[in-house]
Amino acid sequence: MYALLRLGYTGEAERFMKWIAARRRDCSSNGSLRVMYAVDGEDALEEATLDSLASEVPGQVRVGNEARDQTQLDVYGALLDSLYLYNKYGQAISYEGWRHVTRTVDYVVEHWREADHGIWEFRNSTRPLLHSRLMCWVTVDRALRLAERSYVLSARRIRAGSARLMQSVANCAWIR
């Protein structure tokens, strides 16, 4: 988002935000989002192996992506950072958008302690990942900044739910 706006691609930034807004309408009532979507906004393809190409290509040929069903808490930080930057350098977020931001932040504050697959998309298990917690912190930080600028979100409510998250990131980030 930052690159689009700073390089003058404001139309592309606006279209990206409209695409994001359409995905927010699809999000679960608890504020969770899917990790990935197809370009047209539909579900990403389920991963499948194309056995018909096995004789022509060494190794397995896969289409789709297994990560589509994973939990990746880091995506919320990237989302809120984009919303924050667009709100700061582009256009203000709508009231409906604020309602979705509130649900997303509530979800992150509730789930940041959970292990996830992370940006590395581990196939066999979830892990408590510092990167995911850091991006959860980014989610809360950007929501606080948006709340302080807009008076729509309650910054006090967000701060109350974020203190433990920020302390956890600070404790985990340093090797002692």
Are both 51 and 115 inside the same structural domain?
Answer: no
Are both 80 and 164 inside the same structural domain?
Answer: yes
Are both 56 and 132 inside the same structural domain?
Answer: no
3-state helix, strand, coil in the chain (%, to 5): 55, 5, 40
> Which domain, by its residues, includes 54?
43-69
Are both 119 and 150 inside the same structural domain?
Answer: yes
Task: Using the predicted structure, report yes or no on whether residue 146 has a pLDDT greater than 60.
Answer: yes
Task: Please write the tens of the pLDDT for every residue from 86-126.
Answer: 999 999 888 888 888 888 988 998 999 999 999 988 888 99
Task: Using the predicted structure, report yes or no on whether residue 50 has a pLDDT greater than 80.
Answer: yes
As given in the structure block, the two tokens for residue 163 are: 């203190």
Total domains present in the chain = 2
Are both 104 and 143 inside the same structural domain?
Answer: yes
Are both 87 and 48 inside the same structural domain?
Answer: no
pLDDT band for position 175 (50/70/90)? low
Are both 10 and 93 inside the same structural domain?
Answer: yes
Are both 110 and 137 inside the same structural domain?
Answer: yes
Are both 143 and 91 inside the same structural domain?
Answer: yes
d(CA 130, CA 127): 9
Task: Using the predicted structure, report yes or no on whether residue 171 has a pLDDT greater than 80.
Answer: no
Are both 131 and 142 inside the same structural domain?
Answer: yes
Number of H helices, E strands in the chain: 6, 2
pLDDT band for position 161 (50/70/90)? low
Q: Which of 54, 69, 84 is the last residue of a domain?
A: 69
Are both 146 and 123 inside the same structural domain?
Answer: yes
d(CA 28, CA 129): 24
